[in-house]
Structure 1
Amino acid sequence: MELGYRAILRLDDGESAIEVAESQLSAWLRSKGRSGIDTFDWDGAGIYRVGPSATLTVVHADDYRDESRRRLYRLQERNSGSTWEVSLRAFDTPRSRSHAQSLTIDVSTDLADEPRVAVAKVAPPKLARMILESHSARDGAASLSGRPLMVRGDEAQEVLAAIKDTDRTAAVVVAPAPWGREHEAEWQQVVTSLTRESVGVAATYILDEDATGIVAAGLPASHTVANGVVRTFGPHVDTDAPDDRLRHLMLFPDTLARSLSPSRKVAAPLAKRHAESTRLRMVTRELPPDLRRGIDVLRRAEADQQRSQTVASRVSAYESELRASPAPNSGQSGLMSYIGTLVKRWLKADRVDEKSILDLGAKLEAQAVEIKLLNEQFDSLADENGRVRDELDSTRDQFDELHLAVTIAEDAVRDNEREMSVLRNKLVSAGASEDAYVEPLADIWDAPDDMYELLARITPGTKTHPVFDQVVFTGDQDAAFEIEKRGQGMRYAHAFWDYIHVLYDYAGGKERGDVTCGVHQYLKSDQLDGHKCSPERHAPTESDTTLKRWGKERTFPVPKVVNHDEEIRMAAHFKPTWTDTFAPRMHYFDDTDGTGKIYVGYIGRHLTNTKS
C-alpha cells in the first residue's frame, strides 16, 4: 500500500479531536451508503465489517499518566480488484504546550508502487472536506478550509503572516483576482475548481485588489504576487534569498485559461498537476515530532490489539476443544484427567507422573520467557522501523532539495558564463585581448577531497596549509566528520575550502590595509580585489529570534587572547546550500581587528533555528 494523500489538521484547543473524528466519520460512512457501506456505528476498539468488502479497524491508545487519548479509525475497502485505505487519527493531548487537538487523514492504495504515482491515483477524501467545512482548523498562521477564503483589504495581513510563518507545514495558495469586484464570484469558481485536489493540504486565499496590493508590498520582488497569477508558497519561505523564489511556483493566466471549460471549471489534469508538488511533499516529508510519536504509539497499540485478538481466538478454540472432550470424573481423578490433557497437548506424552508435571511447568515457563523476549524484540524492531521511516522521509526531502539546489547552481553557471563571454568580447573589441586571460589558481588552492583533509589544513598539526596563518579551526571535528559519514564529504569539502579561501584573502586585505569593511561588504564590493563567492552564500548574522533562543548553540571555542572566557558567539556563517535538509554550515568569528586571524568554530549540520 502506497500513501497518496495526507492532511494534518490542528483544531482549536476548545474542540475534542476524538469527538470531531467520530461524528464526522459516522456521517461520512452514512454518505457512502450507495458504495456498499451498510454499517455506520462501532463500539470501542476492534475490527468491524461495515460492508461486504469493507472493514473498519478502531484502535485506542490512552495514557492515564498525561491524560492523553489517541484513536485510529481505518476504513479498508476493496473494489474492482483494488484496495483503498482511509486512516483517520485523532490526538487529544491536553498537557501539550501546543497542538493539544490534532487530526491526520491518510489515504493509501495498492494501485501504486511509489509516492508520485499514488498522489496521481488518490483524490482528497470527502471526509477531509466535511471536517474542514464543519470545524476550524489551522496550520500555524494559515487557515485550512474546505473552500478558498475571500480576503479583502487589511485582512491581507493574515495572508502575509501565513506565508512567512516558519512553523507552517501546509502550502499557502494565493490567488489575486484578475478582474474587478463584479467578477469575483466567477474567479472564486475558477480557484475552487483549480484547488479541489489540494483540500486539506493547502490554505487557499483569494485576494481582492486592495489585499493584493498589501501582500505584494509586504514581499520582495522575488516572492511577489500579481493579479491573475496563482502562486503556491511552500513551507519555510526565505524572503531574504532571491533564489528561494524557485520553490514557490506560479500558475499564469494563459495556462489557466487554456484549461478552463465554458462553465469555468478547471480541467482535471491541471488541477492534479497544480496540487502535485504540495501533495507529494506532505506524503514524503517527515511528520512533526508530536504526530510522529503519536502514530508510533498507535502502531504499537494496534499490534498489541491484533496479538490479543489472535491469542483470545486460539484460547477460545482450545477451551472449546477441551469442553468437547469426554467429561472427567469428579474428584482427584477428574483433575488428573485435565492435567493429562495438558501433558498430552504440550509434551506429546500419555503418562502423567511427577516428572511430566515438572516438565510441563518448565516448558510453560520457557515459553513465557520466550514470549517476553519476543515482545521486547518486537518493541525494539518497531523503534528501528520508525527510525528507518524517518530516515527515508529525510532522504526524500534531501533528494528534492538537492534537485532544486542543482537547478539554482546551473542557472548561476549559465549567468556567469554569459557574463564572462560578454566581458571577454568587450575586452577583445577594446584591443585588450591579453586582459581576457585569467591566470589559474596556484596549486596550493586545489580543493581537498574530503572533510578529513580540509580540517587537517586549518587545524594545528603536521599538515597545516599556508592558509592556517590566518584561518584557524577551533571547533569539534566530529560534527564535520558527520558530513563525511553521509557520503557528502567531497562536495562540501570543495565548497567550504572555497569559503576558507575567501576568508584568507579577506584577512590578507585587512592586514595590508586594502580592506576596511566586514566580510559581507567585501563580498559585495567590485572595487576590492581578492577571492570571493556569491554574497548569497554568506550570512553576516542570524535573526534576533534565533540568537535569543539558540545563541548558546552558536558559541564556540577561541583562544584566550580572543576572549577571556575562551569561547565566543559565532553568528556569521557560510551556507553552501539553503535548501538541503542536512544543510551543512561553517560558522566563524572575524578577529582580524584583534589577533589578525579568523577562527572557524563550527563545520557541520545546520544548527537549530526557526525553520528546524
Structure 2
Amino acid sequence: MATLYRSIWASDDPDAVDVVDRAVVAWGEGVAARHHRPLPSGDARTRASEQYRYVLRRDAHHDPDDTKIGKAVRVVFVESNRDGSRWTTTVRAWSGGSCTGEGAKAWVWIDVEADARDVTEPLFAKPPAFVADLLTTTAAAHGGVSLHPRAVHFQGDDGAEDLAGLLTLPERDVPVVVFGGLGPGADEDALRVFDAAVQRTTRDVAGLAMVAVVDAADLDALGAALGAGFEVHPGAMRLYLPALDPAGDATTRHLEFRAERFRDRPALAGRIAVNQLAPPSSVRRAPDSWDRAAQRLDEATPGGMVEKVAREAARVTDLESELVAERRIAEEVLEEFGDLQHEVTDLRDRLAAASAELARLRGERTGEGLEAIDLAPPHARDCSDAAALARKHLATYLEFPTEAGVDLELLDRQAAGPAWGEQAWRALRALAFYSRARTRDGYDGDFFQWCWNSRHPMAWPANPRKLAMRESKTVMDRWPESRTFTVDGEEQAVQSHVKISSAGMAPRIYFTWVERTGKVHVAYFGRHLRNTRS
C-alpha cells in the first residue's frame, strides 16, 4: 500500500483534538451514506457497512490527569471500491504537555494510502474533503508557514519582501506554490483561466503547501529579493521547496511551470503541483510526541491487538525492504538503458547536423535557411516536455492538439519517464520530418515505408516492435471507440501508432496523415490503450 498524501501540522487550539475527531467521523459517515452503505450507529470501536465496503475504526485516549498526553485520537477510514482499489485515510490528533514542549498545543497528522488490483492503474494523490475546513478551525501551521485553505495575495514591494523572507526561512519545511499574476493587458479569458488554476491548485495541495499569488507589477521586486534564476514569470506557477538558499541553491530544484502548460486546462496546474509535492510529503517524520500518544492509544485497544499489529507491521517492513532492493536493481537497469538511449540520440543528432551541413554545402538548402524543425533541441526532459517542444518547434508539419496528450504527468512520474520522454521526442521529430517529406518533397508513401527506405537520420525504427500502421481485427472489433479521436474537427478511427516502450504503461503515439492540412496529426499520446492483453 502506497502513501499518496501526508500532512502534518501544529495547532494553537487546545480543543483541536475534539474538532478533528468530530470532523473526520462525520466525514466518514457521510461518505458511506452517500454511497448507500451507511455505517451502523453507536460508539463501537469498529463500525462497518454491508459487505465491509466502508470501515471506520476509532481509538481515543482522554485523561485530564495525564500531564504528557491529555487527549489523543486515531481514526482510520477504509474505502473498498468496486474497481478493486482500496483507500485508507488515517487521521491522528493529540495534545498535552509533550506537544507544548514542541511549540504547539496540539498536533494533527493525516495520511492517505491506497492500493489497486491493477498495478498499472493510476492512483492520484488528493487531500480528503475535510482538510480545508480543519486548516481553518485548527489554525494550522508548520515550520513557520501558515497552511491556509485559500491562496494568500502579496501586493506591493513590502508584500514581495515579505514573501521572499518567508521563502528563505531556514526553518521552513513546507513547500510554497507561487503564482505570478497577469498584467493589466491580460484578456478576460486569460484572467478566468488563471483564477481557476489558482483555485484548483489551492484545493489540490491543501495541507501540503501554502499557495501565494504575487501581482504582476511586483514580480520584479520578488525576483530582485530572491536573486537571478529564482523569479516567477507572469502567469506562471513555481514550486519553492523547503531549504531555499539563493546563495547556494540550484534554481532547477524549484520548478517553474509556464502558463502555456495549463492555458487550456486550468485543472492541470493543480495536478502538476500535487504530483510534484505529494511524493516527498510521504516521508515526512511525525513529531516525537507522537510516540507517547501512540502508546496511550495502543494501551486502550483490545488485548492482543497491539501485538498482532506489531507482527504484521514487521512483516510489511520486511517485504518493503525486499521491494526496495528489487526496485533499486530495476532502476539501475533503467538508468543504464536511459544512458544508452541518450548516447544513441546524441549520435543521431550529430549525424543529422552533419547531413544538414553537407546539404548546405551542396547548395540544396533554399535561401530561407534552416526551418524551426531543423533547429529543434535534441533532448526532452520527459513526455510533457516532448509534447510542449513538438507544439513549439514542429507545428509547421505536425498538428498536436493539447487534448491529444493524456495524463502525460503520470508517465513523467514513472521511473522510466525521462527515457520515455527522449523516445517520444525522437518519434515526434521523425513524424514531422516524414510530414515535411510529403509536403515539400512530394513523397507519397506511408510512415513505415519512409522510415524503411529514406535513410533519413531521424527515421524511426521500421519494425513491428516499434511501429504499427494498423491495429488487429480483434482490437478494432472489440474496442473501436478507444481508437476513435477528433482529427481536423471530425471523429475518425486512427490505427497507426508509434510504440515508445513495451514495458510498464507502454506509451503510444497514435497519428494519421491529413491531406487537407498537409500535416501529420497526433491524435493521442499517452499510456497504452486497451487491447487483448490489457
1:109 to 1:289, Cα distance in 2 relative to 1, 3 A: same
The match for 1:206 among 203, 207, 213 is 213
Within 5 Å, give how 1:265-414 maps onto structure 2.
Answer: 266-268=266-268, 271-283=270-282, 285-290=283-288, 293=291, 297=295, 300-301=298-299, 304-305=301-302, 307=304
Matches within 5 A, 1:24-423: 24-29=23-28, 31-32=30-31, 33-39=33-39, 43=43, 46-49=45-48, 53-61=53-61, 64-82=66-84, 83-95=86-98, 96-111=101-116, 120=124, 122-153=125-156, 154-180=158-184, 187-209=194-216, 211-242=218-249, 244-257=250-263, 259-260=264-265, 266-268=266-268, 271-283=270-282, 285-290=283-288, 293=291, 297=295, 300-301=298-299, 304-305=301-302, 307=304
SS at match of 1:173: strand
Superposed CA deviations along residues 328-381 of structure 1, whole A, max 9, x for unmatched, are xxxxxxxxxxxxxxxxxxxxxxxxxxxxxxxxxxxxxxxxxxxxxxx6x99799
User: What secondary structure sits across from 1:104 in the alignment?
Assistant: strand
Q: Which has the higher helix share?
A: 1
Check 1:295–1:282 CA distance in 2 against 1; reply closer, same or farther (3 A cut): farther
Structure 2: how far apart are the matches of 1:38 and 1:176? 45
> In structure 1, how many angstroms separate the alpha carbons of the residues matched to 2:118 and 2:316?
19
Aligned residue for 1:170, secondary structure, equals coil
C-alpha separation in 2, matches of 1:26 and 1:104: 15
Task: State how far apart, in whole Å, the 1-side matches of 2:243 and 2:224 are.
Answer: 19
Structure 1 residue 383: Cα displacement = 8.8
2:259 counterpart letter in structure 1: P
- How far apart are the structure 2 equivalents of 1:391 and 1:62? 39
CA distance in 2, matches of 1:113, 1:306: 36
SS at match of 2:233: coil
Deviation at 1:390, TM superposition (A): 11
How many residue pairs were aligned? Answer: 323
Give the CA deviation at 1:101: 1.3
CA distance in 1, matches of 2:148, 2:169: 18
Residues 178 and 228 in structure 1, CA contact (< 8 A), matched pair in contact too: yes
User: Where do 5+ consecutive residues of structure 2 fail to align?
Assistant: 339-534
Query: What is the one-letter code of the residue matched to 1:22?
Result: D
Give deviations 1:171-208, integer Å, cap 9, x for gaps.
10010202239966763322112454322211101112
The letter for the 2-side match of 1:77 is E
Alpha-carbon distance in 1 for matches of 2:292, 2:107: 10
Q: What CA distance in whole angstroms lies between the structure 2 residues aligned with 1:175 and 1:78?
A: 37
1:427-438 equivalent positions in 2, closer than 5 A = none
Partner of 2:19: 20
Would the alpha carbon gap of residues 203 and 2 (structure 1) be closer, same or farther in structure 2, given more than 3 Å must change?
A: same
8 Å contact from structure 1 (residues 181, 208) kept in 2:
no
Change (3 A) 1:289 1:213: same
- Decide whether the 8 Å contact of 1:29 with 1:40 is kept in 2: no
Question: What is the one-letter code of the residue matched to 2:22?
Answer: S
CA–CA distance in structure 2, aligned partners of residues 10 and 391 of structure 1: 35
Larger Rg: 1
2:9 paired with 1:4: no
Q: Which amino acid aligns with 2:28?
A: L
Q: Could you list the runs of 5+ residues in structure 1 that have no partner in the other structure?
A: 261-265, 310-374, 408-612
Q: Which amino acid aligns with 2:302?
A: Q
Once the two structures are TM-superposed, the CA of residue 21 in structure 1 deviates from its matched residue by: 0.7
Q: SS of the residue aligned with 2:288?
A: helix
Return the alpha-carbon distance in structure 1 between the equivalents of residues 178 and 115 of structure 2: 34
Q: Secondary structure at the match of 1:77?
A: strand
Structure 1 match to 2:344: none
Asked whether the equivalents of residues 119 and 276 of structure 1 are also in contact (C-alpha less than 8 Å), the reply is no
Measured after TM superposition, the shift of residue 132 of structure 1 is: 2.6
Q: Is the 8 A contact 1:77 1:84 kept in 2?
A: yes
SS in 1 for 2:302: helix
Contact 2:56–2:76 (8 Å) recurs in 1 = yes
Q: Does structure 1 conserve the Cα–Cα contact (< 8 Å) formed by 2:145 and 2:166? A: yes
Distance 1:378 1:88, change over 3 A: closer
Structure 1 residue 27: Cα displacement: 3.8
Q: Which amino acid aligns with 1:125?
A: P
Q: Distance in 1 between matches of 2:236 and 2:155?
A: 17
Instruction: Give 1:252 deviation, angstroms.
Output: 0.6
In the TM superposition, residue 87 of structure 1 has moved relative to its aligned partner by 1.0
The CA distance in 1 between the partners of 2:318 and 2:171, in whole Å, is 23
Compute the RMSD of aligned alpha carbons: 4.3
CA contact (8 A) 2:126 2:274 kept: no
1:87 alignment partner, SS class: strand
The answer to whether the Cα contact below 8 Å between 2:181 and 2:234 also exists between their aligned partners in 1 is yes
CA shift in 2, pair 1:238/1:216, >3 Å:
same
Contact 1:109/1:118 (8 A) holds in 2 = no
Secondary structure, in 3 states, of the residue corresponding to 1:222?
Answer: coil
Measure the CA separation in 2 of the matches of 1:57 and 1:111: 22
* Cα distance in 2, alignment partners of residues 378 and 26 from structure 1: 22
For 2:424, the equivalent position in structure 1 comes to none
Question: 1:126 aligns to what SS in structure 2?
Answer: coil
Instruction: Work out whether residues 59 and 301 of structure 1, in 8 Å CA contact, stay in contact via their aligned partners in 2.
Output: no
Q: Distance in 2 between matches of 1:68 and 1:385?
A: 31
- TM-score of the pair, normalised by structure 1: 0.45
SS at match of 1:123: coil
- Deviations along 1:491-528, whole A, 9 cap, x unmatched? xxxxxxxxxxxxxxxxxxxxxxxxxxxxxxxxxxxxxx
- Segment drifting more, 383-392 vs 173-182: 383-392
Matched with 1:341 is none
Aligned mates of 1:41, 1:279 — CA distance in 2: 34
TM-superposed deviation, 1:133: 4.7
Equivalent residue letter for 1:55: V
Contact 2:219–2:231 (Cα < 8 Å) also in 1: no
Q: Which amino acid aligns with 2:55?
A: T
> Residues 36 and 84 from structure 1, CA distance in 2 versus in 1: closer, same or farther, beyond 3 angstroms?
farther
TM normalised by structure 2 equals 0.51
